[in-house]
Amino acid sequence: MQFGVAAIALALACAGAVEAADTLRIGSKRFTESYVLGEVLRQAAAPHAEVEHKAGLGNTGIVFSALRSGAIDLYAEYTGTLAREVLKLDGSPTRDELNAKLAPMGLAVAVPLGFNNGYALGMREDRASGLGVTRISDLEKRAGLRLGLSQEFIGRADGWGGLARAYRLRQYPIGLDHGIAYEALERGRIDVVDLYTTDAKIARYKLRVLIDDAKYFPRYDAVILHRSDVPARFPEAWRAIRALEGKIDEATMIRMNAVAEIEGRSFSEAASLLGNKEPTAGARRSLWEAIFDRDFVRLTREHLLLVFASLAASVAVGVPLGVLAAKVPATARIVLGVAGVIQTIPSLALLAFLVAGLGTIGTWPALIALFLYGLLPIASNTHAGLLGVGKGLSQAATALGLRAAQRLRFVELPIAAPTALAGIQTSAVINVGTATIAAFVGAGGYGERIVAGLALNDHTALLAGALPAAVLAILVQGLFEFIERRLRPGAASAAWSARRG
């Protein structure tokens, strides 16, 4: 394991992955409005400091953990979410009460932006009208309605569980990504979705927002949640951010969301609406333009780092584990069994465990997850390759006077190399695809586009991330096939030159 960690650390150092301490790091969650607000904050602060927007980090728990650990410095949050989901407070606490709870964590809330983006439930207007549903309480008598709710809403303290109890609802919702729920609603596959009240798609899809007649949901006023030292570390940037106080009303936020979600413009263009004229309408990007956008080189560099740094660590640990399993048969079941169990852990779950365990987001959790996923193919193929070495060759090498270590180095490993290399190739190709999940914890790569595409239900953005990853997987496979062809003659003759070792 030490070899693997060393390989990852070396790759990170060589790639310059260590972030500068004087960079203001802004986070955002994985939905349109949070992306846009992250860009609003970045644009406000950028003239006064080095700024990085770590976009689409995930749900509230991940982004809040990133803030506490110092992986980011601030992000746009909502008072209701902060009170109910994060601090577990009842009612509608004041900003002073929130700050009293946040202060021991080294955090603070400030800069109310000027709008409330509450949770709500919505239905298609024609469907709701036909059933006579106007209020959430009406759902109690409509147990057959199909609810498709975001996973975060289902699991939140202020989400489905409490709402169902407050209204005595008996439906069993299915979990849907917020970005695709609208299409499922439009096609009649579900009847009710959870909404943000500033969603631009409410009007586009002609939805009826159900009245919260039990007053279950608190206010969700948009504010800036930040580390307490941010005003002192970035005084000029902080003054620019404070100038945003009260500058975004609900109509403006809905319009900015529409620019991104409906018009297909970038989050940066949507954010630039604030204080500027309406952006000129432009044609949607073609797939070719989306693939080779300005971020292509950066995303490719980040993706290659994730794939090959984790692969180097997997090789450094997996090959010795395969040798151990082959040479000490009693360990084979343990070594391969543990590697197999790791392989079965869902990738997002493993990332969540690593983020919680390491107390940070970004490249490290992603690299460690990819390193662990790469172990099984390499260890098992090395083990199988060594078991395939004929006993006659080993006996002949012993007769030539080679010691055990020399037999392994000059005879057995060269003969097993094609099989071991096939395991490394498998690990590398799998890593290219799996590395797209790194974007869920702010580690970059092509997954950034996929995550943004999911948030917007933008098929072009999804393909702009998926296609380069697929092409990279093909290129990596071709590279290893080339290496295998070059090594095969050497491997065949290595046994004959062993006596010179």
Domains and CATH numbers, the chain: 20-116+220-282 (3.40.190.10), 119-209 (3.40.190.120), 296-500 (1.10.3720.10)
Report the first-to-last Cα separation within the chain, whole angstroms: 29
pLDDT band (50, 70, 90) for residue 158: confident
The answer to whether 392 and 433 have CB atoms below 8 angstroms apart is: no
Q: What is the pLDDT of residues 327-365, one digit of tens each?
A: 899 999 999 999 999 988 888 788 878 877 887 778 889
Q: What is the pLDDT of residues 424-464, one digit of tens each?
A: 999 999 999 999 988 888 888 999 898 888 777 678 888 99
Q: What is the pLDDT of residues 302-322, one digit of tens each?
A: 999 999 999 999 999 999 999
Please tell me the distance from the alpha carbon of residue 124 to that of residue 206, in angstroms, as a whole number.
6
- For range 85-95, the mean pLDDT: 88
Give the type of residue at 349.
A
In three state form, how does the secondary structure of 271-323 look? HCCCCCCCCCCCCCCCHHHHHCCCCHHHHHHHHHHHHHHHHHHHHHHHHHHHH
The answer to whether 267 and 463 have CB atoms below 8 angstroms apart is: no
Please tell me the distance from the alpha carbon of residue 363 to that of residue 16, in angstroms, as a whole number.
11
Per-chain mean pLDDT for the chain: 86
SS3 54: strand
The answer, yes or no, to whether residue 24 has pLDDT greater than 70, is yes
The answer, yes or no, to whether residue 501 has pLDDT greater than 60, is no
443: left (phi over 0), alpha (psi -120 to 50) or beta: alpha
Exposed, middle or buried: residue 489 (CB in 10 Å: 0-12, 13-18, 19+)?
exposed
The answer to whether 415 and 491 have CB atoms below 8 angstroms apart is: yes
Structure-token match 């390193």, residue found: 371
The answer to whether 111 and 244 have CB atoms below 8 angstroms apart is: yes
**282-303 burial by CB neighbour count: b if 16+ within 10 A, else e?**
eeebeeeebbeeeeeeebeebb
Residue 488: its pLDDT value, please? 63
472, two tokens: 């990279």
